[in-house]
Amino acid sequence: MKNFSNSPLHNNQTPNHVRDRKNKKFGFLSAVPLRFSLRGYGFCMATLFLFCFGSLFYQLNGGPPKILLDIRQYLGESTYLDDHGPPAPRVLLFPSQVVYNRVGKCGSRTVVILLRLLAERHQFNLVSSDIHNKTRLTKHEQVDLMRNISNIPQPFLYTRHVHFLNFTRFRIEQPVYINIIRDPINRFLSNYFFRRFGDWRGEQNHLIRTPGMKDDERYLDINVCILENYPECSNPRLFYIIPYFCGQHPQCREPGVWALERAKQNVLENFLIVGILEELEDVLLLLERLLPHYFTDVLNIYKSPDYMKMGNMTGTVRKHTPTLEALQVLYHRMRYEYDFYNFIRKQFHLMKKKIGLKSVSRPTAHQASFLRELAVRTTEPLDEDEELETDLEDANIWFVQP
């Protein structure tokens, strides 16, 4: 067997031959990476330029370029919504979810007429529920209603006769609440006669609203109703305003301190404003200050002749004042309602003072003597040169003139 390692020829040729081949090999490899790195660098820069240009084009035109849509359609029929769900809702710079859980016979029809005119002028979505007699909801009804409200396109204002709904309890974004109340006895009287005789919008609308009411009940003297303790004129029927702010808890419908204090707490934590009907013009001014995208120019509309023609039709007919004895009994039964009313009135005046609003509302009638003895205030001290107002909605005040 030949040993090629000892061959003179092999020993002489191997070093030079191997050296030359190594030099050629490394020279080739050193040139290849340089050539590929330049090419790769150019490719990356071109890709980055196209990406930036495409992104800019996407943003300027509010959507992707047509070629990207064509490519996506070519690759598959799925859409962006299929893969990622609906886009996040548009975030507005002002409160865009407002709920007005209006209290019955507290000027709500007057305000709804204004809202219809304002919605047309300011282009917000007004949803006014036709459900009037279902203020207490089951848990499932609450969730369904809150979800339906949250799905209304923003900005929106939803209004319905319904007790306070706690959206955060069900992990739903809480809207801004607003409301208006009035003197509890005056509200009760307005409702008592409205159910029986309607308002100026139509002579027979009370027959449509309460078709099952017998004549004995329809023409029942209100003094008899109060003094003889008929169900309509006693608790829990008289405990009406507080549940709108207390909420859906069963205890909110029981007259007592618990419901009263919870209603006050909800007002402080969840309501942007709760006004009083006796100072409606000031309420409208505050709403314009706090929610300008909804209520700008509301006071001018309220004072316009066109609105006055519609607003004057909402006054209750045949309303008259009970005797002083009946009023005293009624006030005692509604003491929690008056506690809440005076709390709201104090908060409302405090808000006017903080904002620096100059009052434009005119004074209501003087108080009854028995209320003055009980130190119950329903009007602010006013300047002597201010005139009395007699043409507000439902202006037949129950207070006895001195």
DSSP 294-324: HHTTHHHHHTSHHHHHHHGGGPBSS--PPPH
pLDDT of residue 14: 52
pLDDT score of 313 more than 80: no
Reading the block at residue 78, the tokens are: 């799925």
**Residue 181 predicted with pLDDT over 90:** yes
pLDDT value of position 391 = 35
Length of the chain: 402
Mean pLDDT score, 163-188: 96
Dist CA 105 CA 312 (whole Å):
15
- Cβ neighbours for 314, distance < 8 A, ≥ 6 positions apart: 109, 110, 113, 199, 200, 201, 393, 394
- In which band, very low, low, confident or very high, does the pLDDT at 133 lie, cut at 50, 70 and 90? confident
Per-residue pLDDT at 175 exceeds 90: yes
State both tokens at 339.
């506690």
Q: How many CB atoms lie within 10 A of CB 372?
A: 12
Q: What is the Cα–Cα distance from 241 to 191, expressed in whole angstroms?
A: 12
- With vertex at residue 68, the alpha carbon angle to CA 64 and CA 69, rounded to the nearest 5 degrees, is 80
Given 84, 132, 161, 320, the catalytic residue? 161
**What is the dihedral sign for C-alpha 295, 299, 300, 302?**
positive
Summarize the confidence of residues 82-106 as an average pLDDT: 75
177 membership: H or E segment, kind and range: strand 176-181
pLDDT at 339: 98
Position 334: which residue type?
M
The rounded percent of the chain whose pLDDT value lies above 70 is 66
Q: In this predicted model, what pLDDT tens digit does every residue of 228-277 receive, in sequence order?
A: 999 999 999 999 999 999 999 999 999 999 999 999 999 999 999 999 99
| Mean pLDDT calculated for residue range 170-189 | 96
pLDDT for residue 374? 45
Q: What is the rounded distance in angstroms from the CA atom of residue 344 to the CA atom of residue 321?
A: 25
Is 252:239 a contact under the CB 8 Å cutoff?
no
The pLDDT value recorded for residue 390 is 34
Flag whether pLDDT at 178 surpasses 70.
Answer: yes
Taking the alpha carbons of 167, 168, 174, 176 in that order, is the dihedral positive or negative? positive
What phi-psi label fits residue 394: left (phi over 0), alpha (psi between -120 and 50 degrees) or beta? Answer: left
How far, in Å, are 4, 82, 303, 318 from residue 387 at the CA level? 131, 65, 17, 26
Structural contact between residues 117 and 307, judged by C-beta atoms closer than 8 angstroms: yes
> Which residue has tokens 């359609």?
73
**Would you state the pLDDT for residue 38?**
75
167 compared with 14, residue with greater pLDDT = 167
**Residue 196 above 90 pLDDT?**
no
Phi/psi for 196 (5° steps) reads -95, -35
Q: Give pLDDT, residue 92.
A: 56
Higher-pLDDT residue of 238 and 47 is 238
Nearest Cα neighbor of 148 from 202, 93, 97 is 97
Q: What percent of the chain has pLDDT over 90?
A: 53
The Cα–Cα gap between 310 and 116 comes to: 12
- The pLDDT of residue 288 is 96
Residue 88 one-letter amino acid = A
Instruction: Give the residue with greater pLDDT, 108 vs 63.
Output: 108
Give the lowest-confidence range in 26-30, 176-180, 313-317: 26-30
Distance (Å, rounded) from C-alpha 190 to C-alpha 265? 28
pLDDT at 64 over 80: no
* Cα 3 → chain centroid: 101
Q: How confident is the model at residue 128 (pLDDT cuts 50, 70, 90)?
A: very high
How many C-beta atoms surround the C-beta of residue 89 within 10 A? 12
User: How many Cα neighbours within 13 Å face the side chain of 182?
Assistant: 25
pTM score of the predicted model = 0.68
Residues 6+ apart with CB under 8 A from 189: 222, 319, 321, 322, 398
Q: Which residues pair with 177 in a beta bridge?
A: 99, 271
Amino acid at 81: L
- Domains of the chain as residue ranges with CATH: 97-358 (3.40.50.300)
**17 catalytically annotated:** no
Order of strands, sheet of 97-100, starting from the edge strand that comes earlier in the sequence: 125-128, 156-159, 97-100, 176-181, 271-276
Q: In this structure, what DSSP letter does residue 124 have?
A: -
| Mean per-residue pLDDT over the chain, rounded | 79
Measured at the CA of 167, the angle between CA 116 and CA 91, to 5 degrees, comes to 65
Structure confidence by residue, pLDDT tens digits, 344-390: 999 999 999 999 988 877 655 445 445 554 434 333 333 333 333 33
